[in-house]
Amino acid sequence: MSPISSEISAAIVIDVVPKQPFFSCVDQSSLANLVKEKSLEQLAKLGGNEGISASLNTDLQHGINEDIASRQEAFGTNTYQKQPAKSFFHFIWEAFKDPTILILLACAALSLGFGMKEDGPREGESDHVEIDQSKNPFLFSGTKVADGYDKMLVTSVGMNTFWGAMMSSISRDSDEQTPLQAHLSRLTSSIGKVGLVVAFLVLVVLLVDDVINAVVGIIATTITIVVVAIPEGDTTAAVTIVVVAIPEGLPLAVTLTLAYSMKRMMADQAMVRKLSACETMGSATTICTDKTGTLTMNQMKVTKFWQGKESVEGTNYTLIASSVYKSKANLEFSGSPTEKAILSWAVLELNMDMEAVKMGCNILHVEAFNSAKKRSGILMKKIEDDTFHVHWKGAAEMILAMCSHYYDLEGNMKALNDQERMTFDQIIQGMAASSLRCIALAHKQVPEVHHDKKIQENELTLMGFVGLKDPCRPGVKKAVEDCQYAGVNIKMITGDNIFTAKAVATECGILYHNQEFNDGAVVEGVEFRNYTEEERMTKVDRIRVMARSSPFDKLLMVRCLKNKGHVVAVTGDGTNDAPALKEADIGLSMGIQGTEVAKESSDIVILDDNFASVATVLRWGRCVYNNIQKFIQFQLTVNVAALAINFVAAVSAGEVPLTAVQLLWVNLIMDTLGALALATEKPTRELMEKRPVGRTEPLISKVMWRNLLAQALYQITVLLTLQFKGESILGVSEKINDTVIFNTFVLCQVFNEFNARKLEKKNVFEGIHRNKLFLGIIGITVVLQVVMVEFLKKFADTERLNWGQWGVCIVIAAASWPIGFLVKFSPVPERPLFSYFSLKKIRAIQAVLRH
């Protein structure tokens, strides 16, 4: 060793070794992916349960030590990230983006500027899945244990779990507008633009009139210098017209309608989680529904049993019921509906001693049922003779394919040839055609058990077929017919085989009797999945039933239907239904069978899991949409009449008959009280007699245009007549005449509110005695108007009217009832008016004229 200099030897050298983290052998991402991908290979690389527990410093028997802080630092806390609550200022900022609000703010600024003063589970399904240490040792957060007990090793918490990721993805807000919101945005924008144009023209006309008068005054008085300012009254009239034109009462009407409907829907077994879903349901064109528990009662019962090629009646099941006893106690069965049905059949009808059977064998291995393989199996050892046996049960066609022999009615084993297979296939199809879920039972004695304990899947002996009936819910066929009569397509998406699916769909009225498979109405999930995008878009409208489907197939269908312009409602109850529920325009989860993830993903929870309640939600949705249309017709009648009257009067006479306070008063009582009155109309039978509006139908229909234009034209004609000839006709002063115009205008709206109750029916008084709120609001409106005219003269710029003048106002206003009745005899063209003036047709006519 060479000597070290004194300078170097005097120095102290310290070798710093960085401190290893507390959990150095494993990281959070690998643990999360391990469970998410269910990778047995990765589990083996990490040393299995023992290796992971050692890496996590966890005792498999006693759990963790007191090192909570270091674990939280490494793996996070067992909490979920929630979307931050939106502040009050956020909503203010969002409101400022609304053009309507901007216009109203501009009007307020003008008013101030000009000094205007007012004068007045794991796989996603609800199936039970077996958990074991060798084949499926993975357990997701949020899983519900249906049977058994065990200990689990926690590898992820909080946002690192599957549940956390799912809840995070489904809690994000969507900026997608509902069909009604899109219609309302376009409507308010259009009306606002028209109001601005009219107000600008009124302002220009009044200013020109004032300027002309000023110039005449200059010439007459030989004044050489005059400063002409914008008169306050001109600005007041223009700003008031803008405020009246903008339907700011629409949001209030929509909110009142939705809130009222939401409360009433709760009594009809529908809990609304998203307010806008009420009106969106009214636009629905397609409903994709589950079968089990929604169309059916989810109460399975064994109604048929085939042993060999013979149907066995009664309890003469010699092969199955090898040991019997008489049941004396009320037993409770647990498991899936299918398992409970078979167990109850075995115990209560075959009188099998299940405890004796269980004590007479040891279960060595279990392969749990899953929605892909449609089967489950066990490997067992009989205690009395130490023999090993394999038992399988599952979808009949799946089990039959695994068999090489079968037992006949006498218990003799026979070979299963091609002819016998065809016979059994016909038996399966016959049971399925009777709406039975066909379950096959198979058995095999094996000579030995391999170390991997794999359950043999071939050369089995068919023991028999069990037919389970899940009866359709009472009233479901009527509900399906109501939806179809309303123009809504019903599509059933189920995991059952194609024959059972067709039978149930026919029983529920989704398919017609004797409808063929080859017409495209019935498909299997794998077939639909393997279509090209163009094929799916072409065939999706014809599909009525999709059998043997997965949650992904449901999501694929929803996307396809939305791309074709449908407004889609989807029912779902499983965790894997969450993407389809979120993708749909309206997600409907099941309150009884539904998982928490499904409910969180949905817009409406059907509390009784009944399709009839889905039809009720559809009826309420249409009621909401219809009530909003009623208010829009009522509101636009007021707007059109007020704009036209003030514009014509301003252009012709240089003054407006309705003052700013009077117009604002009309705006106030009609927007608030009118909205409340029309928002509380209940669903009627006629709502289900119309086709759905969908995404493309205009919010203001041709019927609405006919009604509102007729009423507006009558009001404009009468009030302009009073404006120009009222003083001579009535023999009153100008002030009294102006008051009569104002009073008549308000009363016209009161009477027209009755007309708005029915858009198409001629009898607008039908059922009015049942709507006490409507009658009360009408009474309050009339009382307020009397107070406004008779007692607030200075504020409203009115004069008191005598009984005769009140009679004139009432008679003129009441004439809107016969006008509304007669105008409904006028037919409405099927084609829109503007379609007759399309650009292509105009060019075609020009081409013909040129030649």
CATH of residue 340: 3.40.1110.10
Q: Does a structural domain hold residue 338?
A: yes
Q: How far apart are CA 428 and CA 22, in angstroms?
A: 60
End position of a domain, from candidates 409, 441, 469: 469
425 and 510 together in one domain: no
What's the pLDDT score for residue 16?
46
Q: Does a structural domain hold residue 713?
A: yes
405 and 481 together in one domain: no
Let me know: does 446 contact 517? Beta carbons within 8 Å: no
User: What count of Cα atoms within 13 Å lies in the side-chain half-sphere of residue 809?
Assistant: 26
464 and 556 together in one domain: no
* Secondary structure E strands in 470-585: 489-493, 522-524, 545-547, 568-572
Q: How far apart are CA 614 and CA 136, in angstroms?
A: 37
Q: How far apart are CA 597 and CA 589, in angstroms?
A: 10
What's the pLDDT score for residue 808?
94
User: Which are the contacts of 834, defined by CB distance < 8 A and separation ≥ 6?
Assistant: none
Let me know: does 326 contact 456? Beta carbons within 8 Å: no
Q: How far apart are the first and last CA of the chain?
A: 114
Residue type, 232: E
What's the pLDDT score for residue 327?
37
CATH code, domain with 195: 1.20.1110.10
Q: Does a structural domain hold residue 135?
A: no
Q: Does a structural domain hold residue 130?
A: no
Q: Does a structural domain hold residue 173?
A: no
Q: How far apart are CA 124 and CA 634, in angstroms?
A: 48
213 and 353 together in one domain: no
320 and 440 together in one domain: yes
What's the pLDDT score for residue 849?
46
Q: How far apart are CA 480 and CA 497, in angstroms?
A: 21
Q: Bridge-partner residues for 439, per DSSP?
A: 395, 466
428 and 550 together in one domain: no
Q: For the chain, how many structural domains are there in total?
A: 4
CA triplet 123, 470, 342: central angle to 5 degrees?
Answer: 75
Question: If the chain, 851 residues long, is cut into consecutive pieces of 10 residues, what is the mean pLDDT of each piece?
Answer: 43 47 67 76 78 77 74 74 64 62 60 49 50 74 60 78 63 58 70 70 67 53 40 59 66 79 88 84 91 82 86 57 41 76 83 82 80 80 88 90 89 88 90 86 84 79 89 88 91 87 89 74 91 92 90 89 92 80 90 82 89 89 89 88 81 74 80 83 86 82 91 94 91 91 93 92 90 91 92 87 94 95 86 48 51 51
Q: Does a structural domain hold residue 13?
A: no
699 and 778 together in one domain: yes
Let me know: does 558 contact 568? Beta carbons within 8 Å: yes
805 and 672 together in one domain: yes
635 and 572 together in one domain: no
What's the pLDDT score for residue 784?
92
Helix, coil or strand: residue 150: coil
Q: Does a structural domain hold residue 796?
A: yes
Q: How far apart are CA 101 and CA 199, in angstroms?
A: 17
What's the pLDDT score for residue 115?
46
DSSP 349: I
Full-model pTM: 0.68
End position of a domain, from candidates 609, 640, 666: 609
Q: Domain limits at 577?
A: 270-296+473-609
* Secondary structure E strands in 564-623: 568-572, 586-590, 604-606
829 and 817 together in one domain: yes
Q: Bridge-partner residues for 491, per DSSP?
A: 288
> Which of the residues 234, 290, 482, 738 is marked catalytic?
290
Q: Bridge-partner residues for 302, per DSSP?
A: 468
Q: Does a structural domain hold residue 485?
A: yes
What's the pLDDT score for residue 46?
78
User: Is 290 tagged catalytic?
Assistant: yes
Helix, coil or strand: residue 491: strand
651 and 797 together in one domain: yes
691 and 778 together in one domain: yes
